[in-house]
């Protein structure tokens, strides 16, 4: 069993698991929906007059495990039971999935549903705009569970203002401040909620001997691989990657005063030794050793994966301590896309509206409240099995178009804390207006443009350039292609 699989099942000192649930942040389906034939809706939105048999749906999908889920295995069989369906799934390994997808689309011999990671690649967009796939927007009233996804996720997946993709949800926000709870207690503080409180916590972690070893050998925030956590800029009110005004004009975050305020804050942390001096070059796993070795008290990472990961590592290091997560600092957070693509329905294999409704009946059923509860129960039962008997939760998440197992499903104090914090962050999250917009210039010059801004940011934080030097780098970015990217995004945004 690989380490990834272990992380999904390990209980740890606080019973932490990496399993996930949808009790929070999910759109609510009709309360009387059943994960059965009766959940198929009539045109008025109510249940169908007579129960139907299992919906027959063929599908192209990806798998991440060493072997594909079996047709008679728990992932497929339980999904069929809950969704009242008979699924015929062609599973393809992750590393060759895009190649298989392109071949399948080119051949025209497609299953009734194809799962795509990124519906905004050229081949998919061309397919949508040429009429290859069904526009599902007119059918949402008949299948109401399909419009109950988070509005940000639906918007992030819309193409030319229409809904072609049934979302495969993921958390809207995963990044948050992870803190050693024992250090907080030792310095007499609580989880910070403001920038000033956060700064005071980092100072205390450096100056007040939080590990009680009598030495001045600790610091506040761990950063690695020149990846300044974006959440810090959210706290200062900077836009999420881009801002867009009412006229559709795009402005890059690095150009705004709020972003520069966040940058000055990080430079202050660097100057006062509150972050690690090697942040620009140290690799992730090396930097994380500072946490295990009692050198640092906090990081800003993906809390649903990283907190259980740290507990898992404690089994190896034998250095055990409790972790907590702060609420959104300053009441702000950045939203991610909130999806891992989703399902498209081709017109070549689903030729009539009657056939379409048969397929939609399945997708509607697996997104009902009752179905979500069933998936959570299955995930919880899976967690209790011996490791060798457990299925890979990621493969279930990649099959079902619901957020049922996206958030922690465990019932320990740590699980509940993680669910609560993820809900709080999602509730105040700021979307990235460029999600789903593909700028040709950005695609062509992405690495060059990114390098200009990342290098300037690191040099500014370390004091190698001043405000004028940073502004000159931003001007270089604009001239190199940044202005053209902004124009292209603006044009695309107006058409969305």
Same domain for 30 and 84, yes or no, is yes
| pTM score | 0.82
Instruction: Please indicate whether residue 50 or residue 7 has the higher confidence score (pLDDT).
Output: 50
Kindly state whether residues 347 and 257 are assigned to the same domain: no
Domain boundary among 407, 425, 453: 407
| Mean pLDDT, residues 437-456 | 95
Please write down the HEC assignment for all residues of 12-61: CCCCCCCCCCCCCCCCCCCCCCCCCHHHCECCCCCECCCCCCCEEEEEEE
Q: What's the pLDDT tens digit per position in 334-350? A: 999 999 999 999 999 99
Residue 419 lies in a domain: no
Residues 52 and 112 in one domain: yes
pLDDT higher for 222 or 383? 222
How many domains would you assign to the chain?
A: 3
Q: Residue 63: in which H helix or E strand, if any?
A: strand 55-63
User: Domain check: are 182 and 326 in the same one?
Assistant: yes
Q: What CATH number does residue 211 fall under?
A: 3.40.190.10
The mean pLDDT value of the chain amounts to 89
3-state SS class at 118: coil
Please report whether residue 76 resides in a domain. Answer: yes
Label residue 36 by pLDDT band (50, 70, 90).
Answer: very low
Residue 90 has pLDDT above 80, yes or no: yes
CA dist., res. 326 & res. 496, Å (int): 36
The pLDDT score that the predictor gives to residue 51 is 54
pLDDT for residue 28 is more than 70: no
Tell whether 182 and 306 lie within a shared domain.
yes
Say if residue 37's pLDDT is above 60: no
Is residue 51, in this structure, part of any structural domain at all?
A: yes
pLDDT, position 459: 98
State the residue range of the domain holding 304.
Answer: 175-229+248-334
Q: How confident is the model at residue 315 (pLDDT cuts 50, 70, 90)?
A: confident
Say if residue 67 is in the same domain as residue 190. no
pLDDT at position 227 over 70: yes
Pair 278, 200 in one domain: yes
Is 380 found in the same domain as 473? Answer: no
Residue 6 lies in a domain: no
Helix (H) or strand (E) holding 244: strand 242-244
DSSP state of 179: E
Between CA 472 and CA 449 the distance in angstroms is 14
Domain end (from 270, 300, 334): 334
Q: What is the largest CA-CA distance in the chain?
A: 75
Question: Does residue 475 lie within any of the structural domains?
Answer: yes
- pLDDT tens column, 153-199: 999 999 988 999 999 999 999 999 999 999 999 999 999 999 999 99
Q: Which of 320-324, 337-341, 383-387 has the lowest mean pLDDT?
A: 383-387
- Mean per-residue pLDDT, 43-54: 53
Any domain includes 466: yes
Residue 484 belongs to a domain: yes
User: Is residue 344 domain-shared with residue 478, that is, in the same domain?
Assistant: no
Give the pLDDT confidence of 53-89 residue by residue, as tens digits. 999 999 999 999 999 999 999 999 999 999 999 999 9
Task: Say yes or no: 300 and 380 in one domain.
Answer: no
Count other C-beta atoms under 10 Å from residue 393's C-beta: 22
Last residue in a domain, options 407, 429, 448: 407
Query: Is residue 364 assigned to a domain?
Result: yes
Q: Domain check: are 165 and 59 in the same one?
A: yes
Do both 314 and 355 map to the same domain?
no
């Amino acid at each position: 069993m690989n380490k990834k699989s272990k992380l999904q099942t390990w209980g740890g000192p606080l019973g932490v698991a990496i399993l996930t649930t949808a009790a929070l942040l999910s759109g609510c389906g009709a309360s009387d929906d059943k994960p059965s034939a009766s959940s198929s809706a009539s045109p008025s939105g109510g249940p169908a007059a007579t129960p139907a048999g299992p919906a027959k749906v063929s599908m192209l999908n990806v798998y991440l495990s060493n072997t594909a889920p079996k047709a008679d295995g728990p992932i497929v069989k339980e999904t069929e039971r809950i969704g009242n369906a008979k699924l015929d799934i062609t599973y393809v390994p992750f590393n060759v999935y895009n190649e298989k997808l392109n071949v399948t689309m080119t051949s025209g011999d497609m299953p009734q549903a194809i799962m795509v990671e990124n519906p905004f690649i050229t081949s998919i967009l061309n397919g949508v705009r040429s009429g290859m796939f069904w526009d599902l927007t007119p059918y949402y009233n008949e299948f109401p569970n399909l419009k109950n996804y988070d509005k940000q996720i639906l918007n992030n997946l819309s193409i030319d203002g229409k809904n072609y993709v049934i979302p495969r949800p993921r958390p809207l926000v995963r990044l948050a401040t992870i803190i050693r709870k024992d250090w907080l207690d030792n310095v007499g503080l609580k989880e910070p909620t403001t920038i000033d409180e956060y700064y005071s916590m980092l100072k205390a972690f450096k100056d007040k001997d939080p590990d009680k070893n009598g030495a001045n050998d600790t610091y506040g925030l761990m950063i690695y691989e020149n990846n300044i956590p974006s959440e810090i800029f959210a706290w200062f009110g900077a836009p999420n990657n881009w801002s867009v005004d009412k006229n559709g004009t795009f402005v890059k975050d690095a150009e705004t005063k709020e972003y520069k305020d966040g940058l000055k804050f990080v430079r202050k942390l660097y100057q006062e030794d509150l972050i690690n001096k090697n942040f620009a070059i140290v690799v992730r796993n090396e930097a994380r050793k500072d946490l295990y070795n009692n050198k640092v008290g906090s990081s800003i990472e993906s809390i649903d994966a990283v907190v259980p990961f740290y507990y898992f590592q404690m089994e190896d290091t034998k250095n055990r301590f409790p972790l907590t997560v702060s609420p959104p600092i300053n009441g702000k957070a950045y939203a991610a896309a909130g999806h891992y693509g989703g399902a498209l329905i081709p017109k070549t294999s689903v030729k009539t509206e009657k056939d379409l409704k048969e397929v939609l009946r399945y997708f509607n059923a697996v997104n009902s409240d009752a179905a979500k509860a069933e998936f959570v129960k299955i995930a919880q039962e899976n967690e209790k099995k011996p490791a060798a008997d457990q299925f890979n939760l990621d493969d279930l998440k990649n099959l079902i178009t619901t957020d049922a197992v996206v958030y922690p499903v465990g019932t320990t104090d740590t699980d509940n804390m993680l669910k609560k914090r993820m809900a709080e962050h999602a509730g105040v999250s700021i979307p990235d207006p460029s999600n789903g917009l593909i700028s040709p210039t950005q695609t062509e010059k992405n690495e060059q443009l990114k390098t200009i801004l990342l290098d300037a940011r690191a040099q500014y934080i370390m004091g190698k350039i001043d405000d004028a030097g940073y502004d000159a780098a931003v001007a270089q970015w604009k001239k190199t292609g940044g202005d053209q990217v902004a124009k292209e995004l603006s044009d695309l945004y107006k058409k969305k």
